[in-house]
Structures are given as structure tokens and as C-alpha cells.
Amino acid sequence: MSKENTSYLDSIFKLKENNTNVKTEIIAGVTTFITMAYILFVNPDILSVAGMDFNAVFMATCISAAIGTLIMGLYANLPFAQAPGMGLNAFFTFGVVLTLGYTWQQALAAIFISGILFIILTITGAREAIVEAIPNSLKHAIGGGIGLFIALIGFKNAGIVVTDEATLVAFGSFSDTAVLLSVIGLVITGILMARKLKGAILIGIVLTTVIGIPMGVTSTQLMEFSFDISPTLFQMDFAGLLDIGEAGIVGALTSVLTVVISFSLVDMFDTIGTLIGTGAKAGMLDEKGKLPNMNKALLADAVATSAGAMLGTSTVTTYVESAAGVAEGGKTGLTATTTGILFILAIFLAPFALMVPAQATAPALIVVGVLMMGAVKEIDFEDFSEALPAFLTIAVMPFSFSIANGIAAGIIFYCITKLFTGKIKEIHPTMILLAVLFILRFTILPH
């Protein structure tokens, strides 16, 4: 790359100021994309159960991810990627559509409303105020909890950990070639990381993918796609969502509000948790535990959620897999911009996207989990009023398979322990409000 181009990129993304360079940022962006590319196929697979067109949702997933990630990179100058969230897509299909009885068009309308609500809250600074209210001990715990959560996803995708009726979880079969490939990938990536090789995670993914070809794990068969987004584009049904029907106006509004609030709470704290956790890992938080351009990052999430609903996909959120790119040295928006461009290219390279098997990205997630666990050393475990909320934040994330649930547990128990140990002054008023909202979320609202 010429000096002129490098200088131009530096002026946009402040590379020298952040002690990074173009090569590092691009490698980080590619790494983030590869580790989260699975969502391009998993999201359509889940939403198609709700009756949505697979190919149209694939297109919507690519475009909405590109929109959110490019805004994150070019506007907020942060290395975080966005896409329709796992868990949120499952809630969309199995909670809102199949359980509550809404159509997928009505569910998209609810997501659009939650996106607009987020834009308002972000512009007014309310969402950033929530971030600032979270104590540092919980912020560090969020990073560690996300580390365990990522590692669990990695172990699950690898087949190293499987479900078991008697013990809940158990070891998978190491005679299975897919599991064996994951172990080989973990060994390769672990060695490269230990040797501090630049691009270790990305190299590990590529090598594991190649090794998977003769083992019969890496697919070389191309898929056929119809690049038509019209079946889901602008299909939001506001009239149906707000239909009074037999429930009456109070019942109808209550039902709609519970759905919108449920989407909003989970998305808000998934995004906040990821931004804080990965930001801490990258050393981007200031002495107050605040992330630069946090409000801009939150606005990217809000705009992408509304855009995603219009395109035809579930709530867009900041992805925890962004930590993979951060671990490769990504510090600026050039990382996110690279990932965003790859999401656009993925539309045209869809038939090749399945070339990278889950067994190749799983070791990367496990390694990132190791890196993020380092945040827990900043927690004061001698003070039990700090230790219990922090531990619950860390433990509940993987055990409930939800970042938002972990944050909720930490916030609720932080308020309880501080209140009954005479340290009420350490509780920010916003924390009390959040604790009440989460208690209502778990006891009354659908989840």
C-alpha cells in the first residue's frame, strides 16, 4: 500500500495515535469476519422456522451486518462488528412467533419500534448513562464472563462438549473426525499464540480449514443461492402488531410492550456487555471504565436494528466475536470497516462461505476466551459485596447462554449486597432502576 493511501487511512482512523497499522487492522477485520461468518447461515436457518424465506434472510443478514459494522467503523472508529444476534433470533422465532402467536411480519414491526426507541435513547444520552452507572468490578466481570461464554460456544461448535441428559454436559467423541479436527486446530492456534505470531488466530483458522479437506470435514461443494430479498423487504406489519382483537386495548398494548421491551433489554445489554468486555481487553477503557465514542457505537447498533427490521431480519447487535479481531491487534474503525466490506462481498461469495467449517473457527473462540479471562484479576474478591455480583456475572453468562442474563444477575446482586452491607451510597440510582427492570423481565415479561 502506498504512503499516500496509508496517510489517508491514518487521517480517518487515527492509526498512529492508537499505536496500530493498516496490516494489523485488516488482519483483525478478516479474523472477526471469519469467526462470526457462521451467522450468515445460522440466522436464516433459525428465522426460516418462523416461515421466512431462507435466501431473503441471508441477504438481509449480510446487508444489515454491513450497515451496522460500517457505521461502527467509519462513524464511531471502533473495531467492533455487528450482525443479527444469536439468542435474539431464537427469541424472535420460538418466543414471539411460535409461542406468543405473532406473525413474523408483526415481530419485525416490534423490532423496528425497539430500534427507533434505541435511537431516541442514544441521542438523548440515556444509554451511555446506563454504561457509566455500571461499577468497574462488574465491567471487569463482564469481560471474564464473555470469555467463558465465547469458550463455551467454541467447545460446543467443536463437538468437544456435548449435551448429556444425566450430567447436563459431557465430552464429545474424540474418534469423530470433526471433533479431532477441532482439537488439531486448537493445538495449532495455541502453539502460534504461544509463539506470539502475528495473525495467529487467522492462520490457525485457515490451516485448520485446509487440514479438514482430506479429513472430509471441510465442505468443497458449492451452494446455489437466489439473490432475491423481496420476500422479506419492508414486510413489517404494524397494523397486525397493534390489532386490539379479543384481548382489548389494554391487553394488546401490554403484549406489544412486553415484546418490544424484551427485545430492547436483551439487545441493550448484549451490546453494552460486548463493548465493555472487548474494549477492556483492548485496553480502550479510560480510568473510569468508559469506552471512547460509546454513544456513537450505541447509535450504530440502534440504526442497524431498525435497518435490519426493514430488510427482514431479527435484532442486530454488537458481536462478542469481535474479541477475536481485538485479540489480533484491532484497535480502530479500520478493523470494523474491513469486516463490513467482507459482509458485502459475502453476498456475492455466498456459495464459498461454507468452505470454513465450524470446527475451524471453534478453536479461535476458545483461544479468545482464554485471553478475555484476564480481566478477572482486576476484581477485588476479598470484598464479598464485590465478589458475589462479579462471580454471578461471570458464571451466569455461559450457564444460561446469555450475556444479558449474566449482566442482569450481577446488577441485581450488586444492589442487594451493597444495600444490606450498609454501602447504599455505592449504588448508582440507575443501577437500582435496572435491577427492578431485570426482576420484572425475569418474572413477568416473556423470555
Identify the bridge partners of residue 256 per DSSP, sorted by sequence position.
Answer: none
The predicted structure's pLDDT at residue 75: 94
Q: Angle formed by the axes of helices 403-419 and 429-443, to 10°?
A: 120
The predicted structure's pLDDT at residue 11: 80
* C-alpha–C-alpha distance, residues 192 and 206, integer Å: 13
Q: Where are the alpha helices (DSSP H) in 37-103?
A: 39-47, 54-74, 88-90
* C-alpha–C-alpha distance, residues 94 and 101, integer Å: 10
* C-alpha distance from residue 283 to each of 287, 324, 432 (Å): 10, 14, 28
Per the listing, cell 449435551 goes with 163
In a 3-state reduction of DSSP, which class is residue 125? coil
The predicted structure's pLDDT at residue 265: 66
Kindly give the parts of the chain with pLDDT less than 70.
1-6, 87, 198-199, 222-225, 244-255, 257-258, 261-262, 265-266, 289, 350-354, 445-447
The predicted structure's pLDDT at residue 41: 75
Report whether 110 contacts 259 (CB < 8 A).
yes
In a 3-state reduction of DSSP, which class is residue 199? coil
Q: Where are the extended beta strands (E) located within 149-283?
A: 161-164, 168-171
* C-alpha–C-alpha distance, residues 219 and 358, integer Å: 11
User: DSSP letters of 290-349?
Assistant: PPTTHHHHHHHHHHHHHHHHHHT-S-EEE-TTHHHHHHTT--SHHHHHHHHHHHHHHHHS
- 401-421 as b/e, with b when 16 or more CB fall inside 10 Å? bbbbbbbbbbbbbbbebbeee
**Backbone phi and psi for residue 408, each to the nearest 5 degrees, phi listed first:** -60, -45
The predicted structure's pLDDT at residue 339: 96
The predicted structure's pLDDT at residue 251: 56
* C-alpha–C-alpha distance, residues 113 and 40, integer Å: 24
The predicted structure's pLDDT at residue 396: 92
Domain boundaries, the chain: 17-220+229-444
**How do beta strands 168-171 and 161-164 pair?**
antiparallel
User: DSSP letters of 290-301?
Assistant: PPTTHHHHHHHH
Report whether 309 contacts 57 (CB < 8 A).
no
Report whether 131 contacts 290 (CB < 8 A).
yes
- 141-152 as b/e, with b when 16 or more CB fall inside 10 Å? bbbbbbbbbbbb
Q: Angle formed by the axes of helices 200-211 and 358-372, to 10°?
A: 150
The predicted structure's pLDDT at residue 69: 96
Q: What is the pLDDT of residues 174-207, one digit of tens each?
A: 999 999 999 999 999 999 989 977 668 878 888 9
The predicted structure's pLDDT at residue 354: 57
Residue 224 DSSP code: P
Report whether 161 contacts 186 (CB < 8 A).
no
